[in-house]
Amino acid sequence: MADRKASLSFDQQTLEFPVLNATLGPDVIDIKSLGNAGVFAFDPGFYSTASCTSKITFIDGDKGVLLYRGYPIDQLAYHSDYMEVCYLLLNGELPDAQEKNAFIKEINQAHELPPKMLHLFKGFDQDAHPMSILIALVGALSAFDSKNPKDPAGRYQMAIELIAKIPTIAAMCYRHTQGLAFIPPRADLSYAENFLHMMFAEEADSPAPDPILARAMDRIFTLHADHEQNASTSTVRMAGSTGANPIACIAAGIAALWGPAHGGANEAALNMLHQIGSEDKVESYLERAKDPKDPFLLMGFGHRVYKNYDPRAKIMRETCHEVLDLVGAKEDPIFKLALHLEKIALEDSYFVEKKLYPNVDFYSGITQSALGIPSTMFTVIFALARTVGWASNWIEMISDPQQRLSRPRQLYTGEKERAVKPIAERA
C-alpha cells in the first residue's frame, strides 16, 4: 500500500481514503469506510468498482492484453496446453514435466461420476437445454461432496474433482439430448481428446479424435479458462462469501454464464449467421447493425472489455481456419457467409473506426459448429473451460483473511414510509 490519499468533499466535509497500488492497471481508491459518513458510491454494473484483490488474471482492454498469472494468452495458447493452464491458474506457476504428469494423473483418476448421479438424467426431457441440465447436475454434485472447504488440501481437491467431472457431465448432457448411450471417460486420452471421445465416439474403444480437432478444442478451453472479474466469476465469489458449498457456488457461476450477454455470446453469434441466411444479405444486415433504431445486433463483433482487438480472437481465427480446412467446410453456405461477413466488417470504415472487430465468440462458434457441436452446447463447453477459473477465484477468495460477506448497497428511489390503510379504505 502506498501513502497516497484520495479526497472526497461534499456537504461541507472532506473525507480521505487510502490509494492501493496495482501491479498492473489502474490503482484503486479504498472506499470501504465511505458508509461511515452516511453515503454510498453509485456504480451500476460495478464498472468502476474493484470488489476484491486478485493475482490470477489481468486484462488491459484498451491495449488488447490478457495475462494468466502474468503470462500472455497467445504464448500460453501456442506453447502450452489446457492442463498446464489449469495448473498455472490453481498454483501460480507453470508446471515442469513431472508436476504436469502428476496433475494429469490426478485429473484422470477423478473423471467418473458417482453412480447415483447417472439416474438424474432420466428426469430431463430429451429436448431440455444442455445448460439447464448442467446447472442441475453440478448442483447435485455438491450432495456427493464430503471435502472440508476450510482445509487447503480439501479446497484443492475440490478443484481437481470439478475440472475432471464437469467434462464428463457436459458430454453426457450432449448425448442425453441426442438420445445416445453414455460413453465412459478414458485415461489414455488427453483432456480434450477425452471430451470429444465422450461426446462423439460410437463405442468406448473407438479411435482417438483427430489431433487437429483435439488441439482446436484444447485451445477453446485455454482461451476461456479465465477472464478476470466477469459476471459469472463475480457470482462465484459472491456466493462463496456466504460460506456456501463450493460446488454449489460453481453451479451459480454456470447459471450466470448462460446469458447471451455473457457466455451465450457464441451461440448468439451462430444464430445471427443463420438469421442472415445468405451472403447476398450481408450488406443489408450490416446497414441494419449501423442503425441505432434497428433492434438487429451484430453478435460476435466488438467486446465489452476490449476496446482494441480481442487478443484471443487472432488465435481462435487461426484455429477456426485449420478446422474448416480439415473438415472441408469452407464451401458450406453458413461458413462462407461467416467468412464473407468477417471480411466486410474488417474493411468497412464504420466497424473499423468503432473497433468492432470479430471477437473470440465469433470464431469459437464457427469452429465448434464445424466440429459438429450444436449451438446449444457452446455455453456448456464455455462453462467446462471456465471451471478452473471459477475454482481458482473461489480458492483465492476463501483464503483471503480480508474477505467479507458480499453485500452491495442500493440507491433507494421508492416510496417513503407510509401507513397501511384498511382494505375498505383503499381506492
Catalytic positions, written as ranges: 303, 361
Q: Are 8 and 33 in contact (CB under 8 A)?
A: no
DSSP letters, 34-55, are GGGGT-----GGGTT------S
Sheet holding 57-60, edge to edge: 57-60, 65-68, 71-72
Sheet hosting strand 13-20, strand order edge to edge: 5-10, 13-20, 28-29
Q: State the Cα torsion 202-203-207-211 to the nearest 10°.
A: 50
**∠281-286-288 over CA atoms, to 5°?**
100
**Which DSSP string corresponds to 211-266?**
HHHHHHHHHHHHHTS--SS-HHHHHHHHHHTTT--HHHHHHHHHHHHTSTTTTTHH
Helix/strand/coil for 71: strand
CB neighbourhood size of 400 (10 A): 14
Strand partners, 67: 58, 72
**C-alpha cell of residue 373:** 457441436
Angle CA 209–211–212, to nearest 5: 115
How many residues make up the chain in this entry?
Answer: 427
| Contact (Cβ atoms closer than 8 angstroms) between residue 165 and residue 391 | no
CB distance 111 to 187 below 8 Å = yes
Closest to 159 measured CA to CA, from 398, 345, 355: 398
